[in-house]
Structure 1
Amino acid sequence: MARYGGATASGFVRSASRGEDQFVLAMDDGSTRTARRLLIASGIVDELPDLPGVADRWGRDVLYCPYCHGWEIRNQKIGVLAADSHSVLQVLTFRQWSPDVTLLLNDALELSAGQAEQLAARSVQVAEGKVRALEVRDDQLAGATLDSGATVALDVLVVSPETISKANMLQRLGLEPAALREGPGTRLETDESGRTSCPGVWAAGNATDVSAQVMTAAAAGLRAAEAINADLVLADTRRAVEEARVLAGH
């Protein structure tokens, strides 16, 4: 970035407010930064299910995305911890990677007749009851223990974390993350260029699209940067026109 005239600053932005022709960012160390436009790329935080052991295994054998980890966990014993009706599609998706897949209802989902038929047709097992603990042996997931005392043997547990947008610093600008249309979590709402409802503020990456991976997020950042540059070009041109009119006595 430095090669192209850019600069970086370490720290966390606590709040953003609008000053005269610019935004003022209050940093956690008490200093401030100013900017004419903002691009929010603060991402998300995953709030995991309140189940002992999940946080310790997260990213190892407790996973979420079939497209990130599907190949690596192929043909293993996969359990999907139900969160809502979306869990049915989730378990059917993971069924592509293994013949041994179990839907752990966890008292969070009551299957319809159609859903039960789909799962049976794909040989997906269904475990009734609430999951109360994970069983770990030799630092590897071995199963999930139900409230009945029974244990479902597992190599991998799939969960549905609540994906929370890390954009609370924008509250003073009147921008609040909105609830996702599907699944638990929040995001900043934008148009196709990444522009938010607050003039001068754009967002890209997981802050606005919780499913975006690296390439998708980078492409969104580029699109937003182009829009920001165009907005600044037009703003500078308007100012130049106004100054020229003043000099000309108009």
Structure 2
Amino acid sequence: MNHLEQLFDVAVIGGGPAGLSAGVALARALRSVVVIDAGGQRNLRAEGVHGFLTREGMSPQQFLAAGRAELEGYGGTAVTGIVKSAAHECGNFVLALDDGSTCTARRLLITSGSEDELPDLPGLRERWGRDVLYCPYCHGWEIRNQKVGVLAASSHAVLQALTFRQWSHDVTLLLNGEVTLSPGDREQLDARSVKVVEGRVRGLVVQDDKLSAVTLDDGSAVPLEVLVVNPAIVSRANMLQVLGLEPDDLEEGPGTRLHTDDSGLTTCPGVWAAGNVTDVSAQVMTAAAAGLKAAAAINADLVLEDTLLAVEAAGAPAH
């Protein structure tokens, strides 16, 4: 059982880039902070971190381990566990963990991330993060000049195909029975030499642990080395329902996110959010930056409360 009897200034739910960045910043501000991490970060299947200056290609596991070491080096606490629920009691937040322990904090930061709900294709999840992917800025360089297929789930697939065309001359848009192209769509795809394939995709062909093709419902196969999908990205925030926080549907596609203001403050006073739980497109670097920004806002809020308490104590009559 975790020993978390003290009252923390801040509890952070989620130990990915946003949570660890916030935890380090708060610890450096001499705040007592605990970061509770359930594991399962969505980029753990990737070979390396990309788009993060000076950390290019570092494995996600090494990145997280280095972040936890920095947190603990500044006096922060890192705990492995799942937060099952959160409640607001006597001005503080009480978190119930899966091992039966509880944690109490004055402020709460949600950096629990999101989950990718992938298309229902046999073998697809096993290839996820390797040669089945969706973010060109995470993987574009690594898959450059390969045979790329874009599996349509909505009209957004046209833009996906045109975007991946930047990294490869061999891009195929697989309509999958989900999209009807307009004349304008056809004109753009033709102009960029993006091939279009009708029919539904039924499966993946893997040879020597590498994607080699996808099969269609008519029995034919389309040679590919990379398959781009568009998953529904759903925020991990179920533990916050008792606080009245419900994720909003995404405007740009399937999925959900927690709504916040520019500082990361949610609609529940005392609760902030950062990273993929509120910005589904955030990469490692932008998630870490959002965690830092939220940490500064939380510390500023605590400074005001500490000052108010000090003023009240100074004005109290002596006994």
Q: Which residue of 1 aligns with 2:167?
A: 97
Q: 1:50 aligns with which of 120, 123, 147?
A: 120
Structure 1 residue 248, shift from structure 2 partner? 7.3
Q: Deviations over 1:177-234 (max 9, x none)?
A: 1111201111111111110010000011111111111111111111101100110111
**1:34 match:** 104
2:214 to 131, 136, 144: 144
- For residues 133 and 176 of structure 1, the distance between their equivalents in structure 2, rounded to whole angstroms, comes to 35
| Residue in 1 that maps onto 2:61 | none
The match for 2:205 among 102, 113, 135 is 135
Q: Deviations over 1:19-69 (max 9, x none)?
A: 001000011111110000001111111111101111111111111111111
Residue in structure 2 matched with residue 77 of structure 1 by the alignment? 147
- Supply the distance in 2 between the matched residues of 1:157 and 1:31 (Cα, whole angstroms): 43
Match of 1:214 in 2: 284
How far off its partner does 1:86 sit? 0.8
Offset at 1:157? 0.5
Deviation at 1:244, TM superposition (A): 2.6
Amino acid at match of 2:88: R
Q: Which has the larger radius of gyration?
A: 1
| Runs of at least 5 residues in structure 1 that lack an aligned partner in the other structure | none
- Take 2:204 and 2:111, find their aligned partners in 1: how far apart are those partners? 34
Superposition misfits of 4+ residues, deviation over 4 angstroms: none
Q: What is the DSSP-based 3-state SS (H/G/I as helix, E as strand, rest coil) of the residue aligned with 1:33?
A: strand
**Aligned ranges for residues 6-25 of structure 1 at < 5 Å?**
6-25=76-95
Question: Who is 2:156 aligned against?
Answer: 86
1:181 — aligned with what?
Answer: 251
Match of 1:172 among 211, 220, 242: 242
Partner in structure 2 of residue 116 of structure 1: 186
| 2:314 match | 244
SS in 1 for 2:79: coil
SS at match of 1:202: strand
- The AA in structure 2 aligned to 1:100 is D
Partner amino acid for 2:169?
A: P
SS of alignment partner, residue 77 of structure 2? coil
* Cα distance, 1:79 vs structure 2: 0.3
SS of structure 1 residue aligned to 2:234: strand
How far apart are the structure 1 equivalents of 2:225 and 2:76?
46
Shift of 1:148: 1.1
Q: CA RMSD in A?
A: 1.3
Which AA in structure 1 matches 2:128? W
Aligned equivalents of 1:70, 1:4: Cα separation in 2: 36
1:167 to partner: Cα distance: 1.0
